[in-house]
Structure 1
Amino acid sequence: MRVKTQAKRDAILAAASQVFRDAGFEGASMGEIATKVGGSKATLYSYFSSKEELFVAAMHEVAHKEFEPVFVALDKKDDNLQETLQAFGEHVLQFLCSAATIQTRRAVIAESGRTEIGKRFHELGPQIGMQRIADFLNRQMSQGNLRKSDPLLAAVQLSALLECETVAPLMLRTVEKISKAQLKQATERALDTFLAAYAITAARP
């Protein structure tokens, strides 16, 4: 039996990410991914039990590399809440509104009615990210910058406010592209609404 290695797993994820991005979930095949990584389908299945599992892992690997520096920044002490959330929101939206991410989300939604892929995708990615945002908001509540409330609910509402002007229209193709300037403005409007509901007046700029 061949020994599994992290290097091989990383190579599989990198190859799978490119194939899924180019062909979509339906169009991609384990055979094509195996060929790209330079191995066999048996090797792929020794690391990932199904195409669905590989798809979820590959997409979350990309998201983790993109978001981890942002979450690390949230973990650091910052006295300017609005500036921190503005930088966070803009970075998140630049990733979420990219063509590749929108395509991935469409693929997940399309498969969710037939398989467990939507649930697994959520549990391994968005759910974890939402909790990390909630942890940040909870610290802000403890420091008296935000009113006491359910931090996870506040995180969900912040996410919804950020996405309603940006991700939602891109998903439906009512718009084709959103510029960085538009993402900045959308983030500002989302934060105005969020802080109107949650910020303690004395703490707001």
Structure 2
Amino acid sequence: MRAKSETRRQAILEAAAEVFQETGFERTTMSAICDHLGYSKATLYNYFASKEELFSAVVFDATEAEFQASLEALDATVEDMTEALEKFGRGLLTLLYSPQVQAMRRLIVAEAGRSELGKKCYELGPVRNEAVVSAYLQQAMDADKLRPADARIAALHLRGLLEAEWLDRFLFQTLEPLSAEEMNATVERAIAAFMAAYGPVHG
């Protein structure tokens, strides 16, 4: 029974994500999501009490993949920091610039200023990721793999460098799909700049 319930919940999230992306948060109705699914309103409300709650769940479903990918990519067993950060960068950009996550990020940006949704989305995504990356960088600083610095600011700089070449094109929706070669080159340049700023100071 639990497996069936989880399958139905996932189907609702996937359908809701499609409808939200097509029509935006404000114009989306629970009725429209029901029509898209073929479920009754009673079934939908049994899982989610409101459109806001459903939207938050959709965002969490999308950002959870990013969060888990960050955890997996930050490999403390890799001794070489350039190698470790390049591994993280490739994983992060592959996810952020996938079509599904791009669509969800644009939807979040479009709706963020209209209600408390912006704060919720920020806490679900960037805040959690920043905490994980900051902790990882602090560990590296403590091990003399990076120079001592404010780990939170370093985490923000790392994210900024990784997205610097593509963020404007993403925001203005002029970004073509990235090839593996383009992404690898972007990551190498970003990590080289980061290590130039935060690499360990010897002697």
TM-score (norm 2): 0.83
Counterpart-to-counterpart distance in 2, 1:193 and 1:119: 31
What code does the residue aligned with 2:58 have?
A
SS in 2 for 1:113: helix
Aligned residue runs from structure 1 range 62-81, under 5 A: 62-81=62-81
Seq. identity, %: 38
Q: 2:147 aligns to what?
A: 147
Counterpart-to-counterpart distance in 1, 2:60 and 2:112: 16
Q: 1:90 aligns to what?
A: 90
Counterpart-to-counterpart distance in 1, 2:72 and 2:100: 24
Q: 1:6 to 1:173 in 2, by over 3 A?
A: closer
**Runs of 5+ consecutive residues of structure 1 not aligned to the other structure:** none
Counterpart-to-counterpart distance in 2, 1:11 and 1:72: 26
Q: 1:15 to 1:170 in 2, by over 3 A?
A: same
Say if 2:13 and 2:54, in contact at 8 Å, map to a contact too.
yes
Counterpart-to-counterpart distance in 2, 1:167 and 1:152: 21
TM-score (norm 1): 0.82
Counterpart-to-counterpart distance in 2, 1:184 and 1:73: 15
Q: 1:171 to 1:188 in 2, by over 3 A?
A: same
Q: 1:118 aligns to what?
A: 118
Say if 2:62 and 2:104, in contact at 8 Å, map to a contact too.
no
Aligned residue runs from structure 1 range 56-67, under 5 A: 56-67=56-67
Q: 2:101 aligns to what?
A: 101
What code does the residue aligned with 1:137 have?
L
Say if 2:130 and 2:152, in contact at 8 Å, map to a contact too.
yes
Q: 1:22 to 1:51 in 2, by over 3 A?
A: same
Q: Could you tell me how far 1:76 is from its partner in structure 2? A: 4.1
**Runs of 5+ consecutive residues of structure 2 not aligned to the other structure:** none
Counterpart-to-counterpart distance in 2, 1:70 and 1:113: 26
Say if 2:73 and 2:91, in contact at 8 Å, map to a contact too.
no
What code does the residue aligned with 1:54 have?
L
Q: Could you tell me how far 1:23 is from its partner in structure 2? A: 4.6
Q: 1:72 to 1:45 in 2, by over 3 A?
A: same
Counterpart-to-counterpart distance in 2, 1:25 and 1:95: 23
Aligned residue runs from structure 1 range 163-182, under 5 A: 163-182=163-182
Aligned residue runs from structure 1 range 177-192, under 5 A: 177-192=177-192
Say if 1:166 and 1:178, in contact at 8 Å, map to a contact too.
no
SS in 1 for 2:178: coil
Q: Deviations over 1:143-188 (max 9, x none)?
A: 1111122211111111111111113222113433332211111111
What code does the residue aligned with 1:33 have?
I
Q: 1:50 aligns to what?
A: 50
Q: Mean alpha-carbon deviation: is it higher for 136-145 or for 53-62?
A: 53-62
Q: Could you tell me how far 1:119 is from its partner in structure 2? A: 1.0
Structure 1 segments of 4 or more deviating over 6 A?
A: none
Q: Mean alpha-carbon deviation: is it higher for 35-44 or for 81-90?
A: 35-44
Counterpart-to-counterpart distance in 2, 1:135 and 1:64: 18
